[in-house]
Structure 1
């Protein structure tokens, strides 16, 4: 089969082909770029394999580009990279690999194109396009990857046990591809993942987190999350989520399976937002339920304070997965507050309660409401309609109060510095008492949200504490 080379590819392909011919290196485009082009998916990462010195080929290509392109060399890995327009092009010499059982770092030596294709993770990633003069544009497909693309099937080119034992990250990559592409994992490959799931322990948390992010950013993350669960990988990479599985019944009353509820919430939210960290908040919103599950004879199954417990669990999960600290507070806040809007729709809503949620959520109030709306997983359309109407009413109340009180990202008009300066005192318990009293008075609507009223409240509380202006 001949690969249909597009106009925007032709120049760079021909330039690489000419440079490779001058060096006498048989050269190919391999892997994800070939797969994605055949699937009509965008791809900006171009992997070039040559039977020779990849660094030398990269330098020759870089020198022949106009303007000349800077080549970044990774001597330790025997690779080099350059940028050309919107393409990131990586060059490597064909190689074969062997692995020790206690490491995913292979012993590498030079090899043929066949050796290089043998070490690929899946047949759909082992496809290559020849850039050689005698068969330019031909697709080299030793493992029937074209058939697997057509059948939307993910299968390893060699024995699954060896493929996953050699590099256990491939197990998560396979699940990620299934999730991103809407493909099915071949039964033998799926069994290989199950059989080798404990090997994931030798993979760094950073690499695991990268694959989790890609699963979370896929069109329907539940596909990947289910596969992680079905293969047993979930217990290694997110044991807190695995702990939500299962349903208990007592006296004819049972609770829902909180794992399947959670992945449905993630899917719901993914239809509303592409924000990675909002999706993570959805994934972790009920993470505290396993620890707070209780049976009460009158109420049945309860999960009291699961929001607070879950929020306290978030930092440990972030540390383990090496997730960024600057996103921790955001996700933790949404987990801690996700029950609050629900409670506000179940009672007569006071202005004070609305002010408090606006103050506590700050600029993340819209994301919090999106999470809460996504948390509706009932199969009863009337219930869903009623819940959404309640949230719509709450949003309207928030908008009205925000317009009058301006509480989003609000800071009380009385600062600790002003209190200390007014009364000639140092940082102390009294400063905190006064600040809290002023803030609560504004949130409760007892005084207007302005400096004059706040100053009056400050003087009133200070007098009760026997403090007087200096």
Structure 2
């Protein structure tokens, strides 16, 4: 198989070939770029292996490209990188690796092309394409990676137990590639993952979460989660999710399996958005159901307050998994806390007051919340799903009309604490907070508009009921 014609679409590869010839070394493209080229998938990352010094090759390539090309050199890793025309080309010398049992960081020494291909994680990532003059574009495929691509199989080049023992992160990567490509994991390879699963404990939480996020972003993320579950890795890295699994039945009354329900919600969300954090909200929306599960002989199973308990669990899970503790976490926490609100509204007569409160609390995240709630409607009864979605249409239209009329998305009452203190001659005190909350509730209930004059008059009236006297008209705040 020769890829000479396809490589002409990437002029920089001809430059690499010429630079390698000048240095008298062999050079090959290896890894994901080759795999994606065969699969006709777009790829911006090119790994070039030099049977020699990779950094020297990168510097020679840069010299041929001109003075404006910058080489990033990582001496500790023996690699260098060039960015060119939206491509990232990484250069490394061919190497041989050996591992200690307590670390996934290998001892590295210079090696041959064969040594370099042997150390690769999977057959589909071990293929190479020659950049050498006499064999330019020829495929080097010692482990039948092309065959595995055609069969849609993830398989290790060497014994899988050795591969996963050397670098346990490869177990996550196997599942990630299977989920991204919709491939199967070859039985012996998957059996080795099950056997070696405890080795995942030597991998940092950051690297595990990075692979997990890629699984979450795959087209059908539930597939990756099911593989993680059956391999036994999910129980180690994400025990809270395993607790969702199973159905308990008492007096003939059972509840839905919240593990598979969560995966269905995640897949539903994935059909409509690539937003990683909205997908995380889908994963965590029912995470507190095991902690809040109760059985009542009259009403059956309940999960009272699971949305509030779940919201409190979000930072704990994010912190342990080394996910960002910033606005991304706060977004997920908010959606977990609010995810029942639109569903409740769709079952009841919709009031402007309830709608205002939802708009105020959701703010700019109202569309994301509604996507999550639509995804949360799962049932084997299509008529039931259709009925709920119709009610959701009514809720969304009502929200849209109310937002256009009252502009509540970034709601702030016109009456501030400073106005209250100035008006009644108060210093910071509990009365200020009481009056502020009274005015806020009146606006949300629709008793008064969020406009200065009616809100000020209402504030004065409520303050006088508390025994306060007006000291200032507050006109300076208009």
TM-score category by the smaller chain?
Answer: over 0.9
Q: Does 1:235 align with 2:235?
A: yes
Report what 2:476 is aligned to.
none
Residue aligned with 1:196, SS: helix
User: Secondary structure, in 3 states, of the residue corresponding to 1:89?
Assistant: strand
Give RMSD over aligned pairs: 1.2
Deviation at 1:261, TM superposition (A): 0.3
List aligned pairs for 1:349-364, cutoff 5 A.
349-364=350-365
Counterpart-to-counterpart distance in 2, 1:175 and 1:459: 64
Q: Report deviation, 1:466.
A: 2.6
List alignment gaps of at least 5 residues for structure 2. Answer: 472-478
Q: 2:291: which partner in 1?
A: 291
Partner Cα separation in structure 2 for residue 425 and residue 108 of structure 1: 72
3-state SS in 2 of match to 1:90: strand
In the TM superposition, 1:262-281 aligns within 5 A as 262-281=262-281
Corresponding residue of 2:444: 443
Kept in 1, the 8 Å contact 2:416–2:436? The answer is yes
Q: Does 1:95 align with 2:130?
A: no
Q: Which runs of 4+ in 1 moved over 3 A?
A: 7-10
Q: CA deviation at 1:10?
A: 4.8
Aligned residue number for residue 59 of structure 1: 59
Counterparts of 1:203 and 1:418 in 2: how far apart (Å)? 55
Q: Does 1:214 align with 2:220?
A: no
Tell me the equivalent position of 2:428. 427
**2:271 is paired with a residue of what secondary structure?**
helix
Q: How far apart are 1:66 and its partner, in Å?
A: 3.5
TM-score, with normalisation over the residues of structure 1?
A: 0.98
> How many residue pairs were aligned?
470
3-state SS of the aligned residue for 2:76? helix
Q: Partners of 1:186 and 1:399 in 2: how far apart?
A: 50
Secondary structure of 2:256's counterpart equals coil
CA drift at 1:438: 0.6
3-state SS of paired residue (1:6): helix
- Helix, strand or coil for the counterpart of 1:409? coil
Q: What is the CA–CA distance in structure 1 between the aligned matches of 2:145 and 2:117, rounded to whole Å?
A: 11
Q: How does 1:291-370 map to 2 (within 5 A)?
A: 291-324=291-324, 325-370=326-371
Residue 76 of structure 1: SS of its match in structure 2? coil
1:78-126 deviations in Å (ceiling 9; x for gaps) = 0000111111000000111111111111111111111111110000000
Q: Which whole-Å deviations, capped at 9, do the CAs of 1:352-407 have from their partners, x for residues lacking one?
A: 11111111111111111111100011121110110000000111111222222211
What is residue 174 of structure 2 aligned with on the other side? 174
Write the mapping of 1:21-420 to structure 2, written as runs, cut at 5 A: 21-66=21-66, 68-324=68-324, 325-420=326-421
Tell me the CA shift for residue 421 of structure 1: 2.6
Distance 2:8 2:422 in 1: 67
**Alpha-carbon distance in 1 for matches of 2:374, 2:349:** 19
Secondary structure of the structure 2 residue equivalent to 1:453: helix
Q: Residue 474 of structure 2 corresponds to which residue in structure 1?
A: none
Residues 364 and 409, structure 2, Cα contact 8 Å, conserved in 1: yes
Aligned residue for 2:456, secondary structure, equals helix
Using the alignment, how far apart are the partners of 1:216 and 1:311 within structure 2?
20
- Structure 1: gaps (5+ residues): none
